[in-house]
Amino acid sequence: MIPPDTVRPYTQVSQRRQRPRAIVAAQAPRLRDDPFRLSLIILIILSLSKFGGYFGILRQLRPALLLFAFCVGYAFLHKQKLNAANLAGNWTVRLFVAIAVVVAGSAVFGISLGHAATYILGNFSKTLAITFLMILTVRDLSDVRRLAWGFALGGIVLAYLSIFVVGISKETSGVSYDANDVGVFMVMTLPIVMMLLQSSKSRFERIVAITGIILLAVTVVKTQSRGAFIGMLVVGAGLLLMPGIAIWRRAFYLVAAAVTMVLAAPSGYWTMMQSVLSDPKADYNWDAVNGRRNIAKRGIGYMYDYPVFGVGIDNFRVAEGTISEKARNLMPGHGIRWAAPHNSFVQSGAEAGVPGLLLWVSLLLSNILIPLRLGRGIPRTWRRGNSEQRFVAAASFYLPLAQIGFAVTAFFVSFAWMEPLYMLSAIVAGLNLVVRRQRLIVQPAVAGPGFRSMRAVSITPPLSLAPPLRSSGR
């Protein structure tokens, strides 16, 4: 519900076309003066980059768990840090809740309760908890921007670790991500870093963003992931079609990324990438028993056999080793590979059933459609306006591009229940909250029978979701 003193009711908005006024953000407190939000941003960075797992002493201290406990405890003692109203009527939150219910049901009715329950308690529940914290903490555009920077820095830190610490390749992997997983994260982080570069507030932010773009592009080729390469092609094509950016700037971004990838590509990289398009049937994954194509077929079979709840979250490997056709036909004395799904769409359907697949795809689509719908009402002048206006305008195009990059590369990895998708969803939900609740952009107005036009409306400061303090006159 919109606080009554924050914005005029829509019924009071003039029906004639109005000229939008500039967004003027309230002076947000510095992040270092807000231990809760500072800890949450660091938690996002650590959760996405898995930074704590790369160094022995940090692995023992488990910094992400400590930060999560601090955030929860601090929020419990300072309830004003969270805004429960952010959850009401929020489409993304409803999808999260529905996915959580289906996932819980998959554990109960799947083929291995213990294995699924262990994964929920040890991984997925923490992912959802951090995601809900991200949504609850949003007050204004500054908070959404900080969440986006947390996500971007998580990808940049992972890129740095992959290049200079692990030296990631097809033969080496990180602590929690293999090369293909890292490629997915790089592809979906690149548009977010470009968004922050386009809406940067300072020279320091621009330097960090440009450095991040270089690291992300280098890491993509270092992983030698064909899925990441295809994802980069799609993101590049989307960038070319993106409105609001001068054609010379788009060309510069693409040429800079291409030159970086060419210079950093390991030996044989382009030959390997060419094989994806030239002769895909010659690849191991086309007809091998444990190739991606046959794994996907078996995964669809699991969804057909367990249509309501699936075999259970994280139980795909268990299904491969116990109920699959290759397990039933196993010759005595031979081993069997408990293969991962290697396809997030197949994974969500096989492990959570048809409802899980539909909800998971709905989450992807909402992360594309919600920002695009917001973008329809953004005045073109905002693309060259102040930093807040440029951030809203850029987010409406770059966030869908990040989600499309994930959707493409998700065809090649088991990423259905991993953190990046859900944290990206929280950023989209936060942007939608601020824009809709603050009436920064548009409200529908009836223009004729069966037709709805968009009318620009904006407000003056403060840009806060919390109800204003009457005693302070705000």
Q: What is the DSSP string of 263-325?
A: HHPPTTHHHHHHHHHH-GGGSHHHHSTTSHHHHHHHHHHHHHHSTTT-S-TT-HHHHHHHTSH
**Amino acid (1-letter code) at residue 208:** V
The pLDDT tens digits for 56-115 are 676 777 888 889 899 989 888 888 888 899 998 899 999 999 999 999 999 999 999 999
The pLDDT tens digits for 359-415 are 999 999 999 999 999 888 888 888 888 888 889 999 999 999 999 999 999 999 999
Write down the pLDDT at residue 24: 46
Contacts of 408 (CB under 8 A, 6+ apart): 187, 227, 230, 231, 234
Measured CA to CA, the distance from residue 464 to residue 139 in angstroms comes to 5
- Only one residue has tokens 């920002």, namely 371
- Helices 35-49 and 419-437 sit at what angle, rounded to 10 degrees? 140
Residue 350: C-alpha distances to residues 121, 211, 311, 318, 365 (Å)? 20, 39, 6, 12, 20
Residue 459: C-alpha distances to residues 9, 290, 292, 438 (Å)? 12, 57, 52, 7
SS3 442: strand
The rounded percent of the chain whose pLDDT value lies above 90 is 49
The pLDDT tens digits for 214-253 are 999 999 999 888 899 999 999 988 888 876 666 777 777 7
Q: Which helix (H) or strand (E) holds 260?
A: helix 247-264
What's the pTM?
0.85
Write down the pLDDT at residue 174: 56
Q: Is the preceding omega at residue 462 within 30 degrees of 0, hence cis?
A: yes
Write down the pLDDT at residue 56: 66
Are 142 and 28 in contact by the 8 Å Cβ rule? The answer is yes
Are 288 and 296 in contact by the 8 Å Cβ rule? The answer is no
Q: Which two tokens stand for residue 467?
A: 């109800």
Are 356 and 348 in contact by the 8 Å Cβ rule? The answer is yes
The pLDDT tens digits for 140-152 are 899 999 999 999 9
Whether residue 459 is predicted with pLDDT greater than 60 in this model: the reply is no
Going by C-alpha positions, the residue among 228, 342, 335 that lies closest to residue 285 is 342
Contacts of 301 (CB under 8 A, 6+ apart): 325
SS3 414: coil
The pLDDT tens digits for 403-450 are 999 999 999 999 999 999 999 999 999 999 998 887 665 444 433 343
Residue 69: C-alpha distances to residues 5, 90, 136, 293, 304 (Å)? 34, 25, 16, 42, 40
Q: Which two tokens stand for residue 255?
A: 């040429």
Biggest CA–CA distance in the chain, Å, is 80
Backbone angles phi, psi at 268, to 5 degrees: 85, 0
